Amino acid sequence: MTRKYGSVVIATVIISWPLAALANNLTTTVTNNFGTPGGLVDMPTAEMAPEGQLSTTVAHYDGTTKTTLSFQVTDRLSTSFRYSAIKGLIPEPGRPPFSTFYDRSFDLSFRILDETQYRPAVAIGLQDFIGTGLFGGEYIVATKSIGNKLRVTGGVGWGRLGSEGSFGKTGSRPTGLLGEGGIPTYDRWFRGDVAAFAGASYAVTDRLNFKVEYSSDAYDREVLDGIINHKTPWNFGVDYKISQSARLSAYSLYGDEVGVNLTFAINARKPAVNGGVETAPLPVAVRAPGDHNDLGWTQDNIRQSNVRTAVADGLKTEGMALHAIELDSRSARVMVRNSRFDMRPQAIGRTARVLSRTLPASVETFTITQVVQGIPTSSVTLRRSDLERLENAPASEMLQAVTFSDALALRQPDVLQPDAYPRFGWSIGPFLRFSVFDPDNPVRANGGIQFRGDYRIGTGWVASGSVSVKLFGDLDKVSLPGASGLPRVRSNVALYSQTDDPTIDYLTVAKYSRPAQNLYSRVTVGYLEKMYAGASAEVLWKPVDSRLAFGGEVNYVQPRDFDQLFGTRTRQTSGGTVPEFNGHLSAYYDFGFGFHGQLDAGRYLAGDWGATIALDREFANGWRVGAYATKTDVSSATFGEGSFDKGIRISIPLSWGTGQPTQRRSNTVIRSLSRDGGARLDVNGRLYETIRNTHEPETAKTWGKFWR
């Protein structure tokens, strides 16, 4: 039987065989040679990783290394970003081979059918659908479990996955590499030769797994360039689970190569420390019957002063601060500064407990207003009797009993606490800055020590700054791209990384205000970021109960000197003149189900006009994993490598890893080399992220922390 018809028979039998077995969700923590979820060697399966899993796989065989970041966005949707290094690839006939060819690619897999007792799970996928097309391929695949140990897979593929033993064709398919890459290869999807693939995996133990596959990838390009010797379409592998977060695999490829891959995985939905390790709050103080009629304290100034002191001390014990308080016989209005709890319901709940233990018994209504950057954002009003009644009930019942309001819709205390202003805060710690995908060195970085400080001058007034000292690194060796016709607004990043002397990252004065209900504003002046000084003004419309927000920002900028001290330089660069003004109109929307979108449209630093779209998958514990893409009126050729600006961003709350509440986060953006097209000013304290977590839609997501 020929390879061509043998593959068809194998795939057909596996897909159509009525295998009676208990259905499961076909999740796996195994990744294949391409770093995507699946229990085979090269071929895809209909298996998915557990929802929220973020994995990094490094796979290597002779001359080729693939590093893949995969994220299970939902239980059905998996995405992957891959960075490959291939030695000896020939760019085109007659030219010498690359010493090492670096390639970026994106994958997408969606499970359209779940497994049932008799039906396999079915998934459809795109491999390298945004990139040069080197690994480009599409597939439809089915996977069925037989018992608890055996899983069988069969499917059909196009592109690379249709190059071995093809049995048909669906139109013509371009075969060349796509220049700078970064453009969706939609003109190739599900076109060209079609071939079948199949495979099986068997779990010997809960740690050890064997796999075999019939591959439909003939490795045509690598064979043509003499990189590999493809002897057989059969691949074999073994996988071993080192720990819950690490797996090691070894495999043989096409009868000629032996390779290994190592996978590290964490799950954004699962905390590193279960339950948290912060000190438990004090219980709610329940009033005795009849105490609420005691109004004598209202005529006793000393007693009122003692109450204010007790509230301030109680909040201080919880790591928060009393900003202002106003009392009357039946109600209390408090303004609170929370610099500790990243889960805002936890701050509200602990404030309510403090009030129950310190306020006179006659006070029935609590209004708790959160103050951020010196301005009131949202207010939560609750009844003390509900707090007493529901302390041991589910937090959802307490959520139904509270009311969210715009802070300006309610009367707030007029007199601030004596320590409200001025205030000084500071921190010191290490920093690490990355640059990836430099053709001469895929990863470069600088590291050192960073000092940050802020001075709260008065209501809404914040002076802040940061100074860094580089201790090591090679960002000063990042390649300078060729002339593009655009002013060099970002591509001269190496020139900003040359000095080993202390540098000013930013030094600004900002004014935050509340012009009216649902409106917020910010004006920032000074050294806005490491490359630009100037002024930035912003306004935001965001109702406290709305998932939708709109904003606008305008910036006046002046390029800073490369030593990043107090000087500025001319706007003239080798690529043109840096425009004075840039800015954007923005829309933000919480789609629900953990998805959040943002659209920014306007003028970028280089004077180009366009838009940025971003989508993030967000989890209740604070994890965020997302992607963005920017397209402007700059052509792909002018932009350079990557064709347009895009990237992956990961934001991890430090509380997730330590179990201790903190508002500090680790933010990572994986993008192509710094280019000039689609570049945006990096100013601190933009309004939406500043106030968003205090509003009802976001607070409701983590309301389970109210009683913690």
Instruction: Give residue-wise pLDDT tens across range 157-171.
Output: 999 999 999 999 998
Flag whether 282 is in a domain: no
How does residue 298 score in pLDDT terms, banded at 50, 70 and 90?
confident
How does residue 15 score in pLDDT terms, banded at 50, 70 and 90?
very low
What confidence score (pLDDT) does residue 53 get?
Answer: 96
CATH of the domain at 411: 3.30.300
What confidence score (pLDDT) does residue 226 get?
Answer: 85
Rounded to an integer, what is the distance from CA 453 to the centroid of its chain? 26
What confidence score (pLDDT) does residue 295 get?
Answer: 86
Contact between 340 and 350 under an 8 Å Cβ cutoff? The reply is no
Flag whether 275 is in a domain: no
Flag whether 197 is in a domain: yes
Residue 375 has pLDDT above 90, yes or no: yes
Averaged pLDDT for residues 102-121: 93
Averaged pLDDT for residues 26-47: 93
Q: At which of 370, 399, 420 does a domain end?
A: 420
- This prediction's pTM: 0.91
Percent share of the chain, pLDDT over 90: 74
What confidence score (pLDDT) does residue 178 get?
Answer: 66
Q: Which two tokens stand for residue 475?
A: 């960002």
Provide the 3-class DSSP secondary structure of residue 667: strand
Residues 245 and 345 in one domain: no
Strands 331-338 and 581-592, bridge-based pairing: unpaired
How does residue 278 score in pLDDT terms, banded at 50, 70 and 90?
confident
Write the pLDDT tens digit of every residue in 185-207.
888 999 999 999 999 999 999 99
Percent share of the chain, pLDDT over 70: 94
Provide the 8-state DSSP code for 297: G
In 3D space, the residue among 54, 71, 72 whose CA is nearest the CA of residue 266 turns out to be: 54
Averaged pLDDT for residues 52-58: 95
Flag whether 390 is in a domain: yes
Flag whether 129 is in a domain: yes
Tell me what the pLDDT averaged over the chain comes to: 91
Flag whether 605 is in a domain: yes
Residues 509 and 645 in one domain: yes
Provide the 3-class DSSP secondary structure of residue 231: coil
In 3D space, the residue among 298, 374, 291 whose CA is nearest the CA of residue 331 turns out to be: 298
What confidence score (pLDDT) does residue 275 get?
Answer: 66
Write the pLDDT tens digit of every residue in 387-427.
999 999 999 999 999 999 999 999 999 899 999 999 999 99
Residues 150 and 260 in one domain: yes
Backbone angles phi, psi at 293, to 5 degrees: -90, -5
Q: At which of 400, 420, 440 does a domain end?
A: 420
CATH of the domain at 132: 2.40.160.40
Better-scored residue on pLDDT, 574 or 607: 607
In 3D space, the residue among 527, 528, 530, 534 whose CA is nearest the CA of residue 562 turns out to be: 530
Domain containing residue 464: 423-697
Averaged pLDDT for residues 237-253: 95
Contact between 85 and 64 under an 8 Å Cβ cutoff? The reply is yes
Strands 331-338 and 53-61, bridge-based pairing: unpaired
Backbone angles phi, psi at 178, to 5 degrees: -95, 75
Amino acid letter, residue 516 = A
HSE-CB of 637 using CA atoms within 13 angstroms: 0
Provide the 8-state DSSP code for 696: H
Residue 95 has pLDDT above 80, yes or no: no
Residues 89 and 237 in one domain: yes
SS3 content of the chain, % helix, strand, coil (to 5): 15, 45, 40
What confidence score (pLDDT) does residue 16 get?
Answer: 44
Residues 240 and 312 in one domain: no
Residues 356 and 475 in one domain: no
What confidence score (pLDDT) does residue 21 get?
Answer: 47
What confidence score (pLDDT) does residue 227 get?
Answer: 86
In 3D space, the residue among 643, 553, 649, 640 whose CA is nearest the CA of residue 604 turns out to be: 553
Provide the 3-class DSSP secondary structure of residue 655: helix
CATH of the domain at 585: 2.40.160
What confidence score (pLDDT) does residue 19 get?
Answer: 43
What confidence score (pLDDT) does residue 23 get?
Answer: 52
Flag whether 230 is in a domain: yes
Bond before 543 cis per omega within 30 degrees: no
Residues 448 and 398 in one domain: no
Cα–Cα dist 476/497, whole Å: 5
CA angle 80, 81, 82 (to 5 degrees): 115
Strands 365-372 and 331-338, bridge-based pairing: parallel
94 contact partners, CB below 8 Å, separation of at least 6: none
Rounded to an integer, what is the distance from CA 575 to the centroid of its chain? 33
Helix (H) or strand (E) holding 122: strand 121-131
What confidence score (pLDDT) does residue 459 get?
Answer: 96
Number of structural domains found in the chain: 3
Residues 255 and 211 in one domain: yes
Flag whether 407 is in a domain: yes
Q: At which of 393, 420, 447 does a domain end?
A: 420
393 contact partners, CB below 8 Å, separation of at least 6: none
Q: What is the dihedral of CA 673, 674, 678, 679, to 10 degrees?
A: 160
Averaged pLDDT for residues 696-702: 96
Residues 215 and 307 in one domain: no
Residues 372 and 503 in one domain: no
Averaged pLDDT for residues 283-310: 89
Alpha carbon of 116 to those of 45, 119, 150, 198: distances in Å?
A: 16, 5, 15, 20
What confidence score (pLDDT) does residue 93 get?
Answer: 67
Residues 458 and 413 in one domain: no
Residues 491 and 594 in one domain: yes
Write the pLDDT tens digit of every residue in 616-670.
999 988 999 999 999 999 988 788 777 788 999 999 999 988 889 999 999 999 8
